[in-house]
Amino acid sequence: MTKKIHLVFKTHLDIGFTDHATKVRAQYHERFIPQAIDTGEHFFAEDPEHPKFIWTTGAWLIWDHLNSQSAERVQRLERAIDRGLIRWHALPFTTHSELMSPAVFRAGLSYSQELDKRFGKQTIASKMTDVPGHTIGIVPLLAEAGVNFLHLGVNSASPPPDVPDVFRWRAPDGAEIVVLYQKSYGETSFPEGFDEGLGFAHTNDNMGPQSVPQTVDAWRELQGHNPGTEIVASTLDAYGEILWARREQFPVVDLELGDNWIHGAGTDPDKLKRFLHLQRLYDGFADEALTPSRRAFGRGLTMVAEHTWGVDIKSYLRDDQAWDRPAFEAARVADYRFQYSEASWAEQRAYLDAAVAELEPADRALAEAAEDSAIEGTGWFVETDPNTGDVILVRSPAGVELRGEGGCLLGYRYESYDASDVAAHMDTYLTHRAQWAILDHIKPGLDQAASARSLSFTPKLVDGAATLDAAAHATLGAPARVAYRFRALDSRHLEITVELLDKPANRMPEASFVTFTPAGVHDWQFLKMGQWLPANRIAHKGGGQLQAVAAVRTAGVELRPLDTPLVAPTATKFMPFNPSPPDFSSGLRFNLHNNKWGTNFPMWWGAERFEARFVLEL
């Protein structure tokens, strides 16, 4: 029987990375979408029944073009859609899905649903590219929306989770989708026993769609590698239908996969804190009633979870000298590369302002107000360490007591890293050593920094204040002081605030943690995208080492991080990649901030004052 390849033409969208997001968006609307239509129309004129080019993209880009461009451009795109030359998939773009609530993830799906309704389609396929993994919490939400196929194409320098190439991903509630996992953005593959395969003509980050000659070249190359095989320009939907019809042939995976890029979300703590606050507000709107302005607000929040958080560091920052504090601070003032990079991070933070601006005045007031709906109570007892300020013991009004392992229940720690730590990360993580992969992950020139240190710092009480090492504050990025505050919300809930004071910006790699180590061995569960999941039941090479959570719980104890969702096991070092499923039995540590890697994330962060709040339930 003759084999057949469904060839999908696609460009990887980064809303940023190759330049500031505003410029990238304009590039798509002014050049790339018209180019895709030009190419599609050429091959439609050749053969209207079987055109050799169909361009696929995320739903947001199509929606954005239809709602922001001139009438002439909109009409051209509408005609191309009607002819089947342009096709969207069900997701808006690639996200760090662990950061999202179910309601905000559904807001992302609403772009495709709106387009489907407008153009009489039923989209069943989805794709995310670059990010190595996602939470199983997306499975019920995709299935609920009628989406039964997900293609995941991973950045080739990053290890994907150890799962079959094709599998049924089954959530705890029994919902399932078919997943095709590939170790690149997309390549040609035939599932075992299949005569029909999926192929990609995939252009890289914001490179735009193929021209007519490039399309012909893509066909010739694919035919050369697959002689005698029938090739058709196709869509993810068409191939998704084939896989779904034969889904019983595929193995079932019911593991969490996680996201081994999620540390990037900790590079901008102020943005992440505000995003989580606004996401909780939107969750309430979704439970109550979604007006058009509230829907637009939720859609705006999805932009924060999009996987691009700034410009490409290896292209735009490119400095290998300004690491020590004096040189770094001078560069921030005088070096355009530093200013351009910082401007891209500010541009990404502005998505939150744009989302809030969509709300009606009464809702906007809620978004801009401090998040504080609790009624304070009394009767809680907290004991702290007289040397460090760490919390040793917490006792509820009912007498329920929680003690710390080894004397510490909850405490702040600051860590700094040097070039050897970065090398350990790269040695354990990278799947190849192409120059771009090295430059995405390395801190070039850090090995020449005089003040770089690989150390951990614990506060010491000085005149009643938890104070960090003076040298770590002066030359690295340690806050000057840490303050703990406790507020009784009711008889079962205590709010614990860890406040960083005078935290300087620091380009050298660093991280802050709040450890949570109840005495004894514990079997933890994590709340991720509405699903309570075993903390350690995660795929090998997945994102178990650091996970974004809404809450953690073990027998009789629940802790909700309101501002800092990233959590790691206390027993695992932060910098080297640990491919094994994580062991949280000895405790957790919440990452308040980090600048572990480059790519397109903020490279430094400082604050006069930053609060990380946790709600403890006993």
Strand 493-503's sheet: what is its strand order? 460-462, 465-467, 481-488, 493-503, 607-617, 557-561, 551-554, 525-528, 531-534
Q: Report pLDDT for 183.
A: 86
Q: Report pLDDT for 374.
A: 55
Q: How far apart are CA 215 and CA 230, in angstroms?
A: 16
Residue type (1 letter), 259:
D
Q: Report pLDDT for 522.
A: 84
- Reading the block at residue 213, the tokens are 């000659």
pLDDT grade, residue 190 (50/70/90)? very high
Q: Report pLDDT for 373.
A: 53
Q: Report pLDDT for 186.
A: 86
pLDDT tens digits for range 2-49: 999 999 999 999 999 999 999 999 999 999 999 999 999 999 999 999
Q: Report pLDDT for 184.
A: 86
pLDDT grade, residue 376 (50/70/90)? low
For CA atoms 473, 440, 300, 133, give the dihedral sign.
negative
Q: Are 371 and 280 in contact (CB under 8 A)?
A: yes
CATH class of the domain comprising 4-258? alpha beta
pLDDT tens digits for range 274-299: 999 999 999 999 999 999 999 999 99
pLDDT tens digits for range 163-185: 999 999 999 999 999 999 998 88
Q: Report pLDDT for 371.
A: 72
Strand locations in 12-124 (E): 55-57, 86-88
Maximal CA-CA distance, the chain: 82
Q: Report pLDDT for 233.
A: 99
> What are the two backbone dihedrals, phi and then psi, of residue 457, each rounded to the nearest 5 degrees?
-125, 135
| Domain edges within the chain | 4-258, 266-368, 381-617
- Reading the block at residue 39, the tokens are 């190419």
Percent of the chain with pLDDT over 70: 99
Q: What is the pTM of this model?
A: 0.97
Percent of the chain with pLDDT over 90: 95
pLDDT grade, residue 412 (50/70/90)? very high
Q: Does residue 529 register a pLDDT over 70? A: yes
pLDDT tens digits for range 550-569: 999 999 999 999 999 999 99
pLDDT tens digits for range 84-114: 999 999 999 999 999 999 999 999 999 999 9
Instruction: Please name which of 391, 390, 392, 388 lies closest in space to residue 461, comparing C-alpha atoms.
Output: 388
Distant-in-sequence, close-in-space partners of 62: CB < 8 Å, separation ≥ 6: 77, 81, 86, 88, 111, 115
Q: Does residue 372 register a pLDDT over 70? A: no
Q: Are 410 and 390 in contact (CB under 8 A)?
A: yes
> What are the two backbone dihedrals, phi and then psi, of residue 592, each rounded to the nearest 5 degrees?
-85, -35
Q: Report pLDDT for 394.
A: 97
pLDDT tens digits for range 562-604: 999 999 999 999 999 999 999 999 999 999 999 998 999 999 9
Mean pLDDT of 431-448: 97
What's the mean per-residue pLDDT of the chain?
Answer: 97
- Reading the block at residue 68, the tokens are 């922001």
Q: Report pLDDT for 520.
A: 87
Instruction: Please name which of 6, 455, 464 lies closest in space to residue 239, comparing C-alpha atoms.
Output: 6
pLDDT grade, residue 191 (50/70/90)? very high
The CA-CA-CA angle for residues 590, 285, 127, to 5°, reads 65
pLDDT tens digits for range 28-37: 999 999 999 9
Strand 493-503, strand 607-617: pairing: antiparallel
CATH of domain 381-617: 2.70.98
Question: Secondary structure of 478-526 in the HEC alphabet?
Answer: CCCEEEEEEEECCCCEEEEEEEEEEECCCCCCEEEEEEECECCCCCCEE
DSSP percent split of the chain into helix, strand, coil, nearest 5: 35, 25, 40
Mean pLDDT of 228-254: 98
Mean pLDDT of 196-219: 96
Strand 455-457, strand 410-416: pairing: antiparallel
Instruction: Please name which of 45, 203, 134 lies closest in space to residue 538, comparing C-alpha atoms.
Output: 134
Quote the DSSP letter at residue 166: E
